[in-house]
Structure 1
Amino acid sequence: MAKKSANRVAARIDWERRRDDWLVKLRELMDSIKTWAERRRWFVDEHEKTIEEDDVGKYTVPTLFIQAPSGKIVVEPIGCNIIGAQGRVDIESFPSLNRLLLILVDGEWKIKTDSRIEWPEPWSEQSFINLVKALTSAA
């Protein structure tokens, strides 16, 4: 019985539209991050990555590799089929592997720690700079 109910819920979701909306918000996010990093003369390298998700299918997203003075970070989309959100992007530092999450909720990006605790700042250029410093200095 639970399986039939889950199938009905999945059938009501327009996965193509959800993916397309996610890709628009993701492109806006990545363009902002790239602009903010380049404004500080940080090296930014953009690559494409393929994601395959249940119900959504296979699609291509941008991934950013950024070299800041304090260290390297990767901005990597995880997907749009996320419980309680419209998408997730990880920001991870190397080589420490410290990570923060950007969760898309009601069209707004929310910052969370790896343990899902909300970051005290809203998403902005300044919070991005602060995140990079925090992630790369916590080796």
Structure 2
Amino acid sequence: MHTQRELTPTLIGTGTLTSLRDMVRAMETVETFEYQYAVDGAPISEGKATLVKIMADPDSSTLLVNGCLFLNVASFRYLDFATAEDGTTRIELTGDGLRLTLEPLDEPDLREGRPVIRLMDEIAFDPQSYVTLDDDEDED
């Protein structure tokens, strides 16, 4: 008997992501942005920055320094995104008691001279952990 595989979600315009791979993909759409950083609901920092590196690394921190964000999606439990009627997107990365809210901008002068690096750690994205082909079990 052939068993149908489970389908993965399709999220258009709004959604919540918990998979590190999906969070990296969502963040690949961002370059420059306005941000708000809050801990336990209290605002800590806000401003404009450029995303220069995306990673999923259990040993690295997320850093926002000198207007540059080095984002480790493993620093967060989930990512929410929503698209407003005017087409703008809001991304909220939520961790244990913290929230980093990003509103992408289209400002080429902010990112000029700062290369955007997209990195996915081989360890974090081992294909064996995402793909399983159980042909032997399907023959039952």
TM class by smaller structure = under 0.3
Q: Which has the higher contact order (CA 8 A, sep 6+)?
A: 2
What TM-score does the superposition give when structure 2 sets the normalisation length? 0.26
What TM-score does the superposition give when structure 1 sets the normalisation length? 0.26
Instruction: Kindly indicate which of the two structures has a greater share of residues assigned to helix.
Output: 1
Greater C-alpha radius of gyration: 2
